Amino acid sequence: MNFSSFKELLLRKTEDESLKTLIKVVDTNFLADQIIESLQKMANNRNAGVHANLAIRHFGTEMDPERESAMIREALGHHASRYKAALDAGDKTMANDHAAQFFKILNLVHKAEPHSHGKLQSETVALQPWVRTHPSYSETFAAKMARDPEYAKDNPVTRGKKSPHQYVNDPKAGYGFKPARKDWSFLQNEPHFSYADEIAKHGHVGAYPMEHTKINGKYIPIEDVENLHDGKKNHPFDYHPILEHYSESINDRAPERDAQYVKEYEQYMSSPHLETHLAHQENLMSSGAHESRGLKVGQPVHAGSKRLEPQKQETESVPTTAAAAAPAPSAVKQDQPKVITRKMSDKEKAKAMLPPHLHDLLKD
């Protein structure tokens, strides 16, 4: 792939001399990777929920901004709290069950939000940097070629389609990711170093921060669970029919399936599950806890959760490799964790030197 003409276009589009120098010397394969990544991010944002089935569109349109958003926030808090308690108790199976339900609901939120007309709004931490640490997604073509002589003879690299440093599989499923053997233990890892630019923006450098999830401006509640076997594994929202319909492709659904959802929705609206949630909300209001609930981030669900304050990005000059690879000493205490914890390759150093607005430049 020849990117010389594209480089010339980028050079004409910028007045930043430092950026011009970087464009001239940047490796063409690396530039291709950046373009593809930028286009993928644009496509993800633009197409989120576009091909939604009737159930998702109905849910987003009919939802009450107070009732449903509170149900979703409480359900996410319920599963995050029980996930935390299960980890503390050493019950891996139960921890995996609650993690799976947590991200199932978060995936629904991601799909329904564009159809809610502003009634549903979320602030979440992307899952991909942690998915990349999963064994299924952390292997590069170079590594696979090194361990498999037969694969080394014929693969996307030898056919000129991929570069050796690229990863064999990409975590594109977002919150819909389903790990092999339902093992969510990768959430306890630190995010993958290849997402260093994103990590630097939100500052989450430890285990995945469920507790930082926000629905309609409020954090999910993280509460102590005294007894994991109290018969309250499920939250009232878990019985909402949308959770059994939202992931179905619009092309695979017959009209009868849509009619079934509407019927189940009407039944749920008069079910004891909804009454249980409403009674809980009334108790919170009568106790005075409703107003302050979710205003502050809850306790970390992972003992290894760590967060740095996001650093301001300098765009007037190209930062040095050392400055990009680690937070400034004056801004971060010496005993705080570093975002990147291993020696960087030349390509990783090049990526660290890129200005934060490169994706915007490519998009423009």
Which pLDDT belongs to residue 310?
Answer: 53
Give 262's Cβ-side CA count (13 Å radius). 10
Which whole number is the average pLDDT over 102-111? 97
Tell me the mean pLDDT in the region 241-255: 94
The pLDDT tens digits of the residues spanning 291-340 come to 899 999 999 999 877 887 655 444 333 444 333 344 443 333 334 333 33
Burial class (CB in 10 A: 0-12, 13-18, 19+), 260: middle
Cα(182)–Cα(338) distance, rounded to whole angstroms? 30
Place of tokens 């989450």: 204
Query: Do 163 and 157 contact (CB within 8 A), yes or no?
Result: yes
pLDDT at 101 over 90: yes
Q: How far apart are CA 52 and CA 40, in angstroms?
A: 19
Per-residue confidence at 253, pLDDT binned at 50, 70, 90?
Answer: very high
pLDDT of residue 4: 67
Q: How far apart are the first and last CA of the chain?
A: 21
Strands of the 122-123 sheet, one edge to the other: 122-123, 214-215, 218-219
The mean per-residue pLDDT over the stretch 215-234 comes to: 96
Question: Looking at per-residue confidence, does 247 or 40 come out higher?
Answer: 247
What pLDDT is attached to residue 37?
53
Residues 187-197: what's their mean pLDDT?
94
Between 119 and 27, residue with greater pLDDT: 119
Q: How far apart are CA 21 and CA 25, in angstroms?
A: 7
CA distances from 311 to 177, 211, 314, 315, 341 (A): 29, 21, 9, 12, 17
Q: What is the pLDDT of residues 160-178, one digit of tens each?
A: 999 999 999 988 778 999 9
What is the mean predicted confidence (pLDDT) over 229-258? 95
In whole angstroms, what is the distance from residue 346 CA to residue 351 CA? 9
225 pLDDT more than 50 = yes
pLDDT tens digits along 201-213: 889 999 999 999 9
pLDDT at 2: 57
Burial class (CB in 10 A: 0-12, 13-18, 19+), 118: exposed
Supply the mean pLDDT for the chain. 83
**Nearest Cα residue to 125 out of 177, 199, 69:** 199
- CA dist 226 → 105, 167, 182, 230, 232 (Å): 24, 42, 25, 9, 11
Judged by average pLDDT, the poorest of 121-135, 143-157, 169-183, 213-227 is 169-183
